[in-house]
Amino acid sequence: MEASTTHHPDQEHLFREIYLAYWDTLYRIANRKIGYAQDAMDIVQDTFTYVWQQFPMLQLETAGAKPFLITCLYYRIFGFLRARGLNEKHLQHFQTYLENELHTDPVYSAQDAAAELEAVNIAIMGALDRMPERMKQIFVLSRYENKSIEEIAHIYAIAPKTVKNQLSEAMRRLKDMAGSYPATALLPVILLLLEDGWGR
């Protein structure tokens, strides 16, 4: 990543540390979602470019940066899939978000988008923290560590069906949380992407 004169040297160092720590994780998630290595690399690079541009206003530390980065990544993946054609349910949520926030609101800015992404991430993490510990860990392994159903079943010595049931219940709880979340199309978009891929 290119350094910017608007960033403090300490921020540049921290960003590079985060970039090196999580680039591979984000790439593996993007590649599994999209299936094309070059497109996945481009999306990950776009994600880090966006984070770098917003970095002065973000309060990120290396150890806790992953959930926010993955939320940003899912948003970028959704934009990519939208351009390639996705099912109508997904497109409706994303189109609503674009029209209501990006197109019709002249004061909506990149800073607003970053703040909303961070708020959505906090809401998701808060909902996960209220789940039973094993359910939370299974969900994190699946959606944030990119582990397969079979890998998670092996880790916990449980049946794959049990893993699927735990993931389904976790998603149900996240959707319940979304029902009481302040009106925004971004949270449903992120949840749709988190839900996509059960059974892989």
pLDDT digits (tens, 9 = 90+) for 40-99: 999 999 999 988 888 887 777 888 788 888 888 887 887 777 666 544 444 455 445 545
Closest CA to 73 of 55, 49, 102, 96: 49
Cβ contact 102:108 at 8 Å = yes
Please tell me the distance from the alpha carbon of residue 63 to that of residue 66, in angstroms, as a whole number. Answer: 7
Query: How far apart (Å, rounded) are the C-alpha atoms in residues 38 and 98?
Result: 26
Residue ranges covered by each domain of the chain: 9-195
Rounded Cα distance, 120 and 126, in Å: 10
Closest listed residue to residue 173, CA positions, set 165, 184, 161, 162: 165
Q: How far apart are CA 59 and CA 51, in angstroms?
A: 11
Question: What is the pLDDT, as a whole number, of residue 4?
Answer: 43
CA distance 101 to 96: 8
Using 50, 70 and 90 to split pLDDT, how confident is the model at 190? low
**Structure-token pair, residue 147:** 């582990």
pLDDT in tens, 27-37: 988 887 777 88
Provide the pLDDT for residue 105: 46
The sign one gets for the Cα dihedral 77, 79, 82, 86 is: positive
Provide the 8-state DSSP code for 98: I
C-alpha to C-alpha distances, 169 to 14, 129, 133, nearest whole angstrom: 36, 14, 13
Residue 169 CB contacts under 8 Å (≥ 6 apart), including other chains: 135
